[in-house]
Structure 1
Amino acid sequence: MLRKITPYLFVAPLMIFIAVFTYIPIATSLNLSVREWNFLSPDMPFVGLRNYEELFDSREFWNSLWVTTLFAVLSVPIRLALALLIASYLISETFVSRLLRGAIFLPYVTSTVSIAVIFSWVFSTDYGLANALLVKLGFERLPWLQNPSLALGVLVLVNTWKQIGYDIVIYIAGLQAVPRELYDAAAVDGGRRLHVFRRITLPLVMPTTYFLLVISVIEAFQVFTIVSVMTHGGPAGATDLLVHQLYRIGFVLFDIGKGSALAVLLFIILIALSLIKSRVIGRKVHYEA
């Protein structure tokens, strides 16, 4: 009997951790999403689907969903393309390559708040480095974080700079797993570099690309800190991503029921996106035996 339960005892701490910090919060959010609560009142009356109906009738929700989708569409392809390109140049085991890997990975493990504050200074209209460079080049200053057409692009840039180090490290691992004999055979056959990259490298790193695509989309839909520090969802809602709106509804307006409903909708959106990517892209992923 002890031999049978020993494996379960080893995984019990992890399962308890996952239950306490994942499954129980999900169940609690589902329960709160159909109730009305403001943190202070002891009563939590059942209101059914009213919170969801108010969200669907809210222009702010649809704007936030559009902005979040646009943020993901702009940031994820740029991140993955740049990460694969840079990883292809840093795959060699030289001192310079290893040094650059560490330097590029450093922003990923740096505090997001610190990065957001620094880039707030960089893109400041009055004294920012970006505008100082524009003035030196003879251009006018730009209101980077006050212009609805520019603010989201700045957030994409900052998020890409912070997250791309992780993508590069994963791509390097995927590229190192590609058999060297394939490149040698292509060189013997006179294959051009671009042709070899398209015919050998891209198909064989598709599992890595698929993994990073799933992770990157989930991360893009959960961006909060850089929005909260740099733009507060403005200007005019141009950077009001879903998680920031969730925070505003739940912890600023104290509408916990509606905030929980938005959290449930975000969870459903991410599950749906993962299933779609699994059906559309997952079938095309080539795995080596």
Structure 2
Amino acid sequence: MFRKLTPYLFVAPLMLFIAVFTYIPIIMSLDLSFRQWNFLSPDMPFVGLRNYEQLLSSSELWNSLRVTALFTILSVPLRLGLAVVIASFLARENVSSRLLRGALFLPSVTSTVSIGVVFSWVFATDYGMVNALLVKIGLGRVQWLQEPHLALWVLIFVNTWKQLGYDVVIYIAGLQAIPRELYDAAAIDGGKWLRVFRRVTLPLVMPTTYFLLVISVIEAFQVFTIVDVMTHGGPAGSTDMLVNLLYEIGFVLFDIGRGSALAVLLFILLIALALLKSRIIGRRVHYEA
């Protein structure tokens, strides 16, 4: 009897941790999304779907959804495209490749707050390094974080710089699983690097691309810290992501019911996106098979 229970006893602490910090908060958020609460009042009256109605009728939600979707569409292909190209050069086992891998991976384990603060200085209008270089070459200063059409691109650049190393390492693992004989055969046939990359490398790392696509989209929809540190959702709402709107509603305005409703909507949206991508990927894998 004890032998049968032993595996469950080993995983029990982890399951308890997941239940306390994941499943119970999800259930509580769902319950709070149907109530009105401001953290201070002991009363939490049931208001039904009113929080959802207020959210869906607000321009702030649709603006945040548009900004988040735009950020995802622009940043994810850029990240994955750069990562697979860089990984193809660093997949060889030598000292220089290992050093470059470590240098690229370092930002992904660095504090996001620190990165946001540093790049806020780098792109500062009056004393930033970027504008200092522009002035040196005879160009004027640019308000990188104050112009609505530039601020989002700055965030995309910073987020790509931070996450690129992780994507490169995952791609390297996928590239090293490709049989070397395929590249040797392509070299014998006289294939150029670009042709080999397009015809051999890209198709064979497609499972890795699918994996990174799923987690990159989820990560893009959950971006918060860099935005909060660098732009606070501005200027004029041009970088106001969904999670930043959730934070503002829940922890600035103390409208916990409406904030929980937004959290539930975001959860449903991410589940829907994951299912859609799984369906598309499943069809692609079945087609390739």
* Bin for the TM-score computed over the shorter chain: over 0.9
How far apart in 1 are the matches of 2:186 and 2:149?
Answer: 46
Structure-1 residue corresponding to 2:85:
85
Q: How much has 1:139 moved relative to structure 2?
A: 1.2
Greater mean alpha carbon deviation, residues 116-125 or residues 128-137: 128-137
Q: How much has 1:131 moved relative to structure 2?
A: 0.7
SS of residue in 2 equivalent to 1:138: coil
How far apart in 2 are the matches of 1:270 and 1:128?
Answer: 36
SS of residue in 1 equivalent to 2:140: coil
Q: How much has 1:250 moved relative to structure 2?
A: 0.2
What's the % identity of the aligned pairs? 78
Structure-2 residue corresponding to 1:133:
133
| Count of residues in correspondence between the two structures | 289
What whole-Å deviation, never above 9, does each CA across 1:43-94 have from its counterpart, x for those lacking one? 1011111100000010000000000000011110000000001101111111
How far apart in 1 are the matches of 2:214 and 2:58?
Answer: 29
Where structure 2 has 5 or more consecutive residues not aligned to the other structure, the ranges are none
How far apart in 1 are the matches of 2:265 and 2:192?
Answer: 48
Letter in 2 for 1:162: K
Q: How much has 1:118 moved relative to structure 2?
A: 0.3
What whole-Å deviation, never above 9, does each CA across 1:225-280 have from its counterpart, x for those lacking one? 01111101000000000001100000000000000000001001111111111112
Letter in 2 for 1:156: I
Aligned pairs for 1:140-151 (under 5 A) are 140-151=140-151
Letter in 2 for 1:137: I
Letter in 1 for 2:180: R
Structure-1 residue corresponding to 2:275:
275
Structure-1 residue corresponding to 2:100:
100
How far apart in 2 are the matches of 1:239 and 1:248?
Answer: 13
What whole-Å deviation, never above 9, does each CA across 1:115-147 have from its counterpart, x for those lacking one? 000000000001101111111121111110000
Letter in 2 for 1:73: I
Structure-2 residue corresponding to 1:112:
112
Letter in 1 for 2:162: K
Q: How much has 1:285 moved relative to structure 2?
A: 3.8
Q: What is the alpha-carbon root mean square deviation over aligned residues?
A: 1.5
Q: Would you say 1:122 and 2:127 are equivalent positions?
A: no
Letter in 1 for 2:62: W
Q: How much has 1:191 moved relative to structure 2?
A: 2.2
Aligned pairs for 1:169-180 (under 5 A) are 169-180=169-180
Aligned pairs for 1:147-158 (under 5 A) are 147-158=147-158
Structure-2 residue corresponding to 1:250:
250
How far apart in 1 are the matches of 2:35 and 2:21?
Answer: 21
Q: Would you say 1:229 and 2:190 are equivalent positions?
A: no
Q: How much has 1:196 moved relative to structure 2?
A: 1.6
How far apart in 1 are the matches of 2:207 and 2:51?
Answer: 39
Structure-2 residue corresponding to 1:261:
261
Q: Would you say 1:69 and 2:69 are equivalent positions?
A: yes
Letter in 2 for 1:280: I
Q: How much has 1:112 moved relative to structure 2?
A: 0.4
Q: How much has 1:282 moved relative to structure 2?
A: 3.5
Where structure 1 has 5 or more consecutive residues not aligned to the other structure, the ranges are none
Report the TM-score when normalising by structure 1.
0.97
Write out the 4+ residue segments of structure 1 that deviate beyond 3 Å after TM superposition.
Answer: 285-289
How far apart in 2 are the matches of 1:35 and 1:204?
Answer: 50
How far apart in 2 are the matches of 1:272 and 1:2?
Answer: 41
**Mapped contact 1:207–1:286 kept (Cα < 8 A):** no
How far apart in 2 are the matches of 1:288 and 1:131?
Answer: 49
Letter in 2 for 1:88: S
